[in-house]
Amino acid sequence: MSKSKPTDSSRDEDRAAEHGPPAVELRGITKRFPGVVANRDVSLAVRRGTIHAVVGENGAGKSTLMKILYGMQRPDGGSVLVDGTPVAFGSPQQAIAAGIGMVHQHFMLADNFTVGENITLGAERRHGIGARAATRIRELAARYGLDIEPDELTENLGVGDRQRVEILKVLYRGARILILDEPTTVLVPQEVDELFGNLRELTGEGLTIIFISHKLDEVLAVADEITVIRQGTTITTVTPAAVTARQLATLMVGSELPSPAAPESLVTDEPVLAVAGLTVRGPAGRPVVADVGFTIHRGEVLGIAGVEGNGQAELVEAILGLHPAEGTLTLAGRSLAGQSTRARREAGMGYIPADRHRHGLLLDAPLWENRMLGHQTERPNAARGLLLPGAARTDTQRILAAYDVRTPGIEVAAGALSGGNQQKLIVGRELSSAPKLLVAAHPTRGVDVGAQAAIWGQIRQARGNGMGVLLVSADLDELIGLSDTIKVIHRGRLVATTDPASTTPEHLGLAMTGALEEPS
Amino acid sequence: MRLAGRIDLVGAGTRLLAPVVALLFAFGIFAAVLGVEGTNATDAFSQMFEYAALPDSQVDILNRATFYYLAAVAVAFGFRMGLFNIGVDGQYRLATLMAAALGSASFIGWLPGVLRIILMVIVAMVVGAAWAAIAGLLRATRGVSEVISTIMLNAVAGGLVAFLNTTDHWGTRPEGSNAVSTPLLPKDSWLPNLPLIGGTEAGVFAFSVVAVIVGVGYWFLLERTRFGFDLRATGYSPTVAAASGVDAKRMVVWTMVISGAIAGLVGLPQLFGESHAFTDSVGGIGFTGIAIALLGRSRPVGMALGALLWAFLDRSSLILDLADIPREIVVIMQGSTVLAVVVAYELAKRLSRRMQRRRVGGLVETSQKEQPA
Amino acid sequence: GGNDDKEPSSGDSTSAKRTIKVGLAYDIGGRGDKSFNDAAAAGLDKVAKDLDVDKKELEAAPNETENDKYTRLKLLCQGGYNPIIAVGFAYAGNDPANGPLAKAAKDCPNSHFAIIDDSSVTADNVASLVFAEEQGSFLVGAAAALKSKTATVGFIGGCEVPLIKKFEAGYVAGAKAVNPDITVLVNYLSTPADKCSGFNDAAKGETSTGGLIDAGADVVYQAAGGSGTGVFKAVKAKGKLAIGVDSDQYNTVSDDLKEVIITSMLKRVDVAVYDFVTDEANGTFTNGVTTFDLKAEGVGYSTSGGKVDDIKSKLDEYQQKIIDGEITVPTEPATS
Amino acid sequence: MSTETAPVPARTPAAPGRPGRVGRLPRVLLAIAGGLVVLAAVRAVTGADDLTSNGAVRAAIQAAVPIGLAGLGGLFAERAGVVNIGLEGQLILGTWFGAFASVHWGPWAGVVAAIVGGGLGGLLHALATVTFGVDHIVSGVAITILAGGATRYLSSLTFAEMDGGGVNQSPPGDELPRLSVPGLSALDGLEDRHWFLVSDLTGILRGALTEVSALTVIAVAIVPLAFWLLWRTGFGLRLRSVGENPRAAESLGVAVYRFKYYGVVISGALAGLGGGFLSIVASNIYREGQTNGRGFIGLAAMIFGNWRPGGLAGGALLFGYTDALQLRRGSESVHALLLVVAVLLLAVALWQATRRRYRPAGLGLALAVLSLVWFFATTTVPVPFVQFAPHLTTLVVLALAAQRLRPPAADGVPYQRGGG
Ligand SMILES: Nc1ncnc2c1ncn2[C@@H]1O[C@H](COP(=O)(O)OP(=O)(O)OP(=O)(O)O)[C@@H](O)[C@H]1O
Ligand SMILES: Nc1ncnc2c1ncn2[C@@H]1O[C@H](COP(=O)(O)OP(=O)(O)OP(=O)(O)O)[C@@H](O)[C@H]1O
Ligand SMILES: [Mg+2]
Ligand SMILES: [Mg+2]
């Protein structure tokens, strides 16, 4: 609360308090959503000045738990203690006042605001929103090595910088307890290391950090203690020294962690997709994808690795014809450059979009209409410009069964399904039309391990039938496990080609930051 | 199980209940406002009903509903893909003027009446479509919000109409009259009014048949054709539709064109069945169309009911004057009905969505493994 | 000259008080519009003083159809009202033979109808009450020219429609009759495009008048209904002169504006209504057109405030010439 | 209201400061000066002296005030993420309430009542859109219908019974004081000389600084005040944040619903004030139909001004100016304006051409030629055309500039607390 910087003596106090009550204690937290128990009797204690990791599969209830701690959700049962005192936050404001800060899984930044505005928002009382605030931000940034300029417009920042802004936001509020919800998903390994350096510095200052992830190697590298959550319940708390990644994984999923084992190659030399000189220009006319060329053959999975925001989204959209682009594009011998998205899809492109809500599903429309989506010109959905609702309904039932989509029926709105089931529906739909080329962007993002394995299997199977796949993923294990070839994209250019059989995530990471530039 | 899956009974129920509740609410406001003034609302309402039940009134209600319905469909066409064609007013005024001017022009005097009617209908649709297309093109190529552009185009269309409908141009003024209109159509291109309702000489506009056809066509186009699917998909989510292969810009232009073409019909029932010439006295149907499209949730049958309700209120309000009750009360009722209905629909939507989630969730929880996000 | 209560014809004076059911169908705005409708209402009120009147007044709504107008007339006739007065030319419709009034007159052959400002409907039971607005406007145009020091006068029309153009035509002719070189500046506040909003927007009237005065006009005549007060305000702010319309506006505007009004062009809708109803009461309904012109004292100019006393003789001279047919006043402006 | 994906670019080197921020003021001043010179030249050439007369300028400002206030209303709502197409309805409420209180308790009470009346309309819109999640346009349309009916009904209950009032108008109220900067009357003579630029400038100065209503002064002051409030205070930051990214705002403890309510109620209040200006200052009576679509024009002015107070004030002035010209000496001045438009369009075309944007350049050129032809082929512009000149201007300007505009990111998007 005080405007002065923490003095040395206050830091000493923090250290002295290490053996006092835990900085945060959650006792028997229960939280229900309609139809789902997100948290079930969860208990957790975090010691001051440590990094405490919380791991669990997708949907295990990690984010919900943290939102409860941060006052964004109210628990249905249980209690929260901060520094040994019971609290009941009704809003983030109260949590912030109690010295808790949260960096969310998805960036919570207004693009059209300056960095300074994003940071001071909601904390205007501290130092106003003007010059004093800017000075304070610069001080904080310098002190924790978070290189950021408050006058910069946020939309011009890359993901790493955005992450730093998020952390600064929390520090600016004088938080002593930081919650980081999956802060590393969008970072390359080098940036992750940088972040971990920052985090250690913060704990050195006496701050407490709760770190959420399901990437076990990261957790083992940085955490002082690890709590495992499964299906909404705490399983155990361990120290990194006492477990291996495999053991941790077993705890997390309750069984062995499936990994996308490298399959034998089924690549033919019959090209499906040939792209050359593909250039996409951003709003300012600057190329965001520059002179990209590659060929995908029947039965081949081409993986694209890259830090988010390096042009892979635009590349995918250009291939689908959603973004105007220069260059040539040939699908199974047919030139599609300049053709509409519809023409491309009719020519045999399937598409699993990165953002299923923005590009994949009509959330308010029933499942059977979603089954038509993207294929509304072909059987069984339509013929001669007229829809065939009956046939589409029947086929939807088939997909639900074949792809294990869990739903009470085909008339429910797609938005009512869980993320994983939504994704399965999309995969089923796209594979049902037997595409020549599947463009899959983050096909298992936000999907639990079971569904993830199923999706991998389905993609592999379709590839076995001669489908070519362009795979864009941030999950390096997925890339390495599925791809026949991996190309690395950096600042819109393909800068490296690697063989998944011989590469490691670390090596890929280096390439993704541009450290290994080589002519492609 | 399968039936329950096909028809979302709960959802349909709430959606049907919503307008009823909203109407009751609006009637409550009606009663309250009248109460302030010291009038008995049920009394006023029964007078309105009695009057509306007269054969003359029934015919008039059907006739009004005809052009209200056409306007509503024109608006709804845009609504279904998230476009707000606020320009129906300008579109139909310009279209009706052009059609009327052409129909009464001497150079096509040789045409048989039926052909002239067909020609006029086509011209009206083309003019309406062309005027709406301006907004569509501006939106598609220049990113100009159609809400603003259609409002501006209404003013421009009004100006053009005022300019053209003068005795210096296409207008005429009967001897001794102060009203300017286009010349009367030749008698052979007047449409006879249908004697559907007994007890009165007045007949229902023959053009109401066209309104019915438009309604059926609207349903078919939207629900049974690929184009309709593309359109609705764009309405649900433009980004999703684009990814599914819908060319959003072309959709915008086409939707505006079709919406404008339907809007072009709005003035014709009266032109063919009542006034037989273009007069600028009737305006504002476009705005009423918006209200009715909202009342009917852009569904063909819903809008028909909405149009009838609106026409009923309009017509029956005439009797209020005779009973010394301020007629403005009906406008208040119309406004609050619209607001109440849209709120009720929204609440119903939320309710049924929540119930669906719960059903999905229940299914997931009872299954062996909890289904994570 | 003015126009005072007319004496009922002597023969009937004994049976003066008999009940007559009068129905009035107003144009948009209705009673209380401070303009055209109010003038009709005033006539009715005056009748009610002399006779035992049972009256019913209904008013038009914006955006209503011709059928609504027909319905209104018919409601009155079904309610037993006779005579029925349709206030405003809109009741004739664009097809006089099949318009609202014609249809109602046909449906109610035993009722007597009157319509104001229209002479296009011909039926045995319809009387058309029309005014020679151009004649009255001629006189105030002459007055404006006589009062102008800048040889520039102005006209503000509420809406660019034939009826208002009639006012303009007479006004211009009158001004030119006095001074052939005079400049008459003309502004219209609106067109049918925006529902003739210029009759309802005093701010527009004020702005527009300011423009005319800045361009040199020192006398401004307004035929702009509710926007007239804006005209008077602008004229007052610049110390110029104004001419009112329809009623003697010297008597209706607020006190601070009285000083600018030199005269008003009188259009005695009240007299027309009064005469029509009293005639009806006397059983002397005459169908066909009755023109209320200078001769019939249906139009004229007012003298309240005494600002035209000095030129009254000249104006009366013009008046006589028009009555005698020496001057024919145009009903449409020379150029479009 | 189109939504384009803005890809997150890869980490770029920090640019020094924000481009476009510095250098905006000089550019704006330069553009104003250039416009003035063109106007003065056209006036000198055509002899349409009303183009820069003090009367025209005064009328322009007076016409701009209600539009600008409506626009500011739109700004507050849309900055908070709510599209307020009900501005027209709130304007209507403002005219009625303003006149009612003005007649009963004097003009200043009228001003307060107008604000309250409009604010109530805003509150209703907020209730529908924020609490009930109704589509913003839908609610706005409904409110406009409702406001028309309600005021008519209220008039029939109140004004109709009053001396000098009627069912569609109020009795006149007292006027607000008018203020002048002393000493400017000395310039009178200069303006009448019709000297190039000198007379034009004096005309503008006199028009802007003499006989200005107190409410005009207040309205003009609200423009910088709005900027200060929105961009220089914590309140403004919060309000804008709920229009840009409500979820982020919520996560930082901003009461999203409450700030949306603030934005929409302020929006209604400002529109109400604009209505009050119409029925208290522009004319001192209420008259049905008085607003005549100014709410929509205000919305257009706001878009025109790129969702910024300064820009929207400029847009409102442009509308006010064309409106004033057309009302004062319409056919003549608007005819002269054709020449101004031609010159400006030509400039736009040239500028676009140098930037190799040939399509807009061609469009600009074509329109310029069209205006020129029209100018030389006629001597006056027909009244109906004159009257839609402001609307046509809006359309053309939007067609040329819409793609450079940037609405708040979450503008018009219904927001539900806690996601979903
Ligand atoms: N607002 C909500 N309403 C309903 N259900 C919700 C809501 N938020 C989360 N859930 C459900 O609660 C469960 C836990 O979700 P949560 O987001 O906490 O998981 P997580 O562990 O953070 O997963 P991830 O690794 O994907 O981030 C999921 O089943 C999810 O569907
Ligand atoms: N308000 C809500 N009501 C009901 N269910 C919700 C709500 N919000 C989210 N959910 C459910 O919670 C789950 C997780 O939500 P979330 O927003 O994390 O989606 P997601 O698709 O898992 O995305 P990601 O994993 O990228 O966060 C989804 O299955 C969604 O259906
Ligand atoms: Mg999470
Ligand atoms: Mg999730």
Q: Each residue's pLDDT tens digit in chain A (520 positions)? A: 344 444 444 444 444 445 678 888 888 899 887 656 788 888 888 988 899 999 877 667 888 899 899 888 888 888 898 888 888 888 888 888 888 988 887 788 888 899 999 999 888 888 878 888 888 889 888 877 777 888 888 887 777 788 888 888 888 888 889 998 888 766 766 777 888 888 888 888 888 999 888 777 788 888 899 998 887 888 888 888 888 877 777 777 665 545 555 556 777 888 888 998 889 887 667 788 888 889 999 888 999 988 767 888 889 989 998 888 888 888 888 888 888 888 899 888 999 998 888 888 998 888 889 998 888 888 888 888 888 888 889 889 899 888 888 777 888 888 877 777 888 899 999 988 888 999 999 888 767 666 778 888 888 888 888 889 999 987 777 888 888 889 988 888 888 888 887 877 667 777 776 655 544 4
- Residue B148 to residue D296, Cβ atoms within 8 A: yes
B23-to-B300, B338, C268, D261, D383 alpha-carbon distances in Å: 19, 9, 47, 27, 44
Residue partners of C125: CB distance under 8 A and separation at least 6: C105, C108, C109, C110, C111, C112, C113, C285, C287
pLDDT of residue B5: 44
Tell the residue nearest (CA) to atom 22 of ligand 1: A63
Alpha helices in C51-161 (DSSP H): 66-78, 100-107, 133-147
A240 three-class SS = helix
Alpha-carbon gap: C266 to the closest alpha carbon of chain D (Å): 20
State residue A286 phi and psi, 5-degree precision.
Answer: -80, 135
Is residue A456 within 8 Å of residue A406, measured between CB atoms? no
D237-to-D83, D188, D249 alpha-carbon distances in Å: 18, 46, 10
Q: Is the dihedral of CA D127, D129, D131, D134 positive or negative?
A: positive
Question: For residue A424, with 0-12 CB atoms within 10 Å meaning exposed, 13-18 middle and 19 or more buried, which class applies?
Answer: buried
CATH of the domain at D155: 1.10.3470
Confidence check: pLDDT of B1 > 50: no
CB atoms closer than 10 angstroms to residue C107: 14
A180 three-class SS = strand
Question: Is the domain of D232 the same as that of D358?
Answer: no
pLDDT of residue A474: 76
CB atoms closer than 10 angstroms to residue D387: 31
Using the atom order of ligand 1, give the atom closest to the CA of residue A65: 18
Is residue C147 within 8 Å of residue B165, measured between CB atoms? no
- Residue A373 to residue B240, Cβ atoms within 8 A: yes
Give the closest residue to C119 by CA, choosing from C73, C172, C162: C162
Retrieve residue D66's tokens: 């209600």
Give the closest residue to D246 by CA, choosing from D129, D127, D81: D81
Residue D357 belongs to domain spanning: 329-404
Query: pLDDT tens for residues C97-128?
Result: 888 999 999 999 999 999 999 999 999 999 99
Cβ of residue D17 lying under 6 Å from some atom of ligand 2: no
- Residue B275 to residue C93, Cβ atoms within 8 A: yes
Confidence check: pLDDT of C267 > 90: yes
Q: Could you give the CA distance from residue D404 to residue D417 in angstroms, rounded to a whole number?
A: 32
CB atoms closer than 10 angstroms to residue B27: 17
Q: Could you give the CA distance from residue A153 to residue D252 in angstroms, rounded to a whole number?
A: 19
Query: pLDDT tens for residues B230-286?
Result: 999 998 888 899 888 888 889 999 999 999 999 999 999 999 988 888 987 667 788
Which residues in chain D are contacts of A117 at CB distance < 8 A?
237, 241
Pick from C33, C200, C210: CB nearest D59? C210
pLDDT of residue C12: 46
pLDDT of residue C2: 40
C5 three-class SS = coil
Question: For residue A185, with 0-12 CB atoms within 10 Å meaning exposed, 13-18 middle and 19 or more buried, which class applies?
Answer: middle
Tell the residue nearest (CA) to atom 3 of ligand 1: A33
Query: pLDDT tens for residues A183-206?
Result: 876 676 677 788 888 888 888 888
Alpha-carbon gap: D97 to the closest alpha carbon of chain B (Å): 17
Question: Is the domain of D292 the same as that of D343?
Answer: no
Question: For residue A203, with 0-12 CB atoms within 10 Å meaning exposed, 13-18 middle and 19 or more buried, which class applies?
Answer: middle
What is the whole-number distance in angstroms between the Cα of residue A191 and the centre of ligand 4? 23
Cβ of residue A304 lying under 6 Å from some atom of ligand 1: no
Tell the residue nearest (CA) to atom 11 of ligand 1: A38
Question: What one-character DSSP code corresponds to residue C306?
Answer: S
Q: Which of B357, B363, B364 to mutate to test the pocket of ligand 2 (most atoms within 8 A of CB)?
A: B357
- For the stretch A133-141, contacts whose Cβ atoms lie closer than 8 Å and that sit 24 or more positions apart, written own/partner, are A136/A172, A137/A168, A137/A172, A139/A5, A140/A168, A140/A171, A140/A172, A141/A168
Using the atom order of ligand 2, give the atom closest to the CA of residue A357: 21
Which residues in chain D are contacts of A288 at CB distance < 8 A?
7, 9
DSSP H or E segment with residue A497: strand A493-498
DSSP secondary structure string for all residues of A50-93: SEEEEE--TTSSHHHHHHHHTTSS--SEEEEEETTEEE--SSHH
pLDDT of residue D337: 84
Using the atom order of ligand 1, give the atom closest to the CA of residue A182: 27
CATH tag, A18-253 = 3.40.50.300
Cβ of residue A446 lying under 6 Å from some atom of ligand 2: yes
Q: Could you give the CA distance from residue C210 to residue C3 in angstroms, rounded to a whole number?
A: 33
Cβ of residue A233 lying under 6 Å from some atom of ligand 1: no
**Up-side HSE of residue B56: CA atoms within 13 Å toward CB?**
16
Question: Is the domain of D98 the same as that of D147?
Answer: yes
Retrieve residue B250's tokens: 């072309």
Size of interface A-D (CB pairs under 8 A): 121
Whether D23 and chain A come into contact, CB under 8 Å, resolves to no
Q: Could you give the CA distance from residue A262 to residue A481 in angstroms, rounded to a whole number?
A: 5
Is the bond leading into B186 cis (omega within 30 degrees of zero)?
A: no
State residue A349 phi and psi, 5-degree precision.
Answer: -100, 130
Pick from C63, C79, C160: CB nearest B283? C63
Cβ of residue A420 lying under 6 Å from some atom of ligand 1: no
- Residue D132 to residue B338, Cβ atoms within 8 A: no
What is the whole-number distance in angstroms between the Cα of residue A212 and the centre of ligand 1? 14
pLDDT of residue A263: 59
Which residues in chain A are contacts of B228 at CB distance < 8 A?
387
Confidence check: pLDDT of C68 > 80: yes
Query: pLDDT tens for residues B167-226?
Result: 888 888 888 888 888 888 888 888 888 888 888 888 889 899 999 999 999 999 999 999
Structural domain boundaries in chain B: 1-28+327-373, 40-324
Place of tokens 């299954």: B367
Retrieve residue B215's tokens: 């309604």
Per DSSP, which regions of D87-168 are E strands? none
The mean pLDDT value of chain D amounts to 84
Cβ of residue A418 lying under 6 Å from some atom of ligand 2: yes
Fold of domain B40-324: ABC transporter involved in vitamin B12 uptake, BtuC (1.10.3470)
Q: Is the dihedral of CA D226, D232, D236, D242 positive or negative?
A: positive
Alpha-carbon gap: D4 to the closest alpha carbon of chain A (Å): 10
Domain A258-344+479-520 has CATH 3.40.50.300: yes
Among candidate residues D307, D342, D359, the one where a domain is terminated: D307
Question: Is the domain of D147 the same as that of D88?
Answer: yes
The partner residues of A498 in beta bridges, in order of sequence, read A486
Cβ of residue B4 lying under 6 Å from some atom of ligand 2: no
Is residue D71 within 8 Å of residue D308, measured between CB atoms? no
Whether D329 and chain C come into contact, CB under 8 Å, resolves to yes
Give the closest residue to C137 by CA, choosing from C234, C38, C222: C222
Retrieve residue A35's tokens: 């139809």
The partner residues of D178 in beta bridges, in order of sequence, read D213
Residue partners of A338: CB distance under 8 A and separation at least 6: none
pTM for this one?
0.86
- Beginning with the edge strand found earlier in the chain, give each strand of the sheet holding C183-188 in spatial order: C183-188, C152-157, C219-223, C241-246, C261-267, C299-301
Of C208 and B35, more confident = C208
Q: Could you give the CA distance from residue A332 to residue C193 in angstroms, rounded to a whole number?
A: 59
What ipTM does the predicted assembly reach? 0.83
- Residue B176 to residue C66, Cβ atoms within 8 A: no
Is residue A22 within 8 Å of residue A47, measured between CB atoms? yes
Cβ of residue A182 lying under 6 Å from some atom of ligand 2: no
> Would D188 be classed as within a structural domain?
no
Confidence check: pLDDT of D56 > 80: yes
Is residue A203 within 8 Å of residue A209, measured between CB atoms? yes
Whether B276 and chain C come into contact, CB under 8 Å, resolves to yes
Pairing of β D178-179 and β C183-188: unpaired
Question: Is the domain of D138 the same as that of D270?
Answer: yes
Is residue A51 within 8 Å of residue A226, measured between CB atoms? no
A520-to-A186, A290, A308, C8, C217 alpha-carbon distances in Å: 24, 12, 20, 109, 81
Size of interface C-D (CB pairs under 8 A): 115
Is residue D250 within 8 Å of residue A92, measured between CB atoms? yes
Count of H helices and E strands in chain C?
10, 12
State residue A19 phi and psi, 5-degree precision.
Answer: -100, 10
Tell the residue nearest (CA) to atom 7 of ligand 2: D420
DSSP secondary structure string for all residues of A304-340: EE--TTSSHHHHHHHHHTSS--EEEEEETTEE-TT--
B partners (3+ CB pairs within 8 A) are A, C, D
B225 three-class SS = strand
Write the secondary structure of A134-176 as one string of H (helix), E (strand) and C (coil): HHHHHHHHHHCCCCCCCCCEHHHCCHHHHHHHHHHHHHHCCCC
Question: Is the domain of D107 the same as that of D219?
Answer: yes
- Please state the domain count of chain D: 2
Confidence check: pLDDT of C151 > 50: yes
Q: Which of B81, B229, B298 to mutate to test the interface with A (most CBs of A within 10 A)?
A: B229
CB atoms closer than 10 angstroms to residue D23: 9
Which ligand is nearest the CA of A57, by number? 1
> Would D92 be classed as within a structural domain?
yes
Q: Could you give the CA distance from residue D277 to residue D291 in angstroms, rounded to a whole number?
A: 10
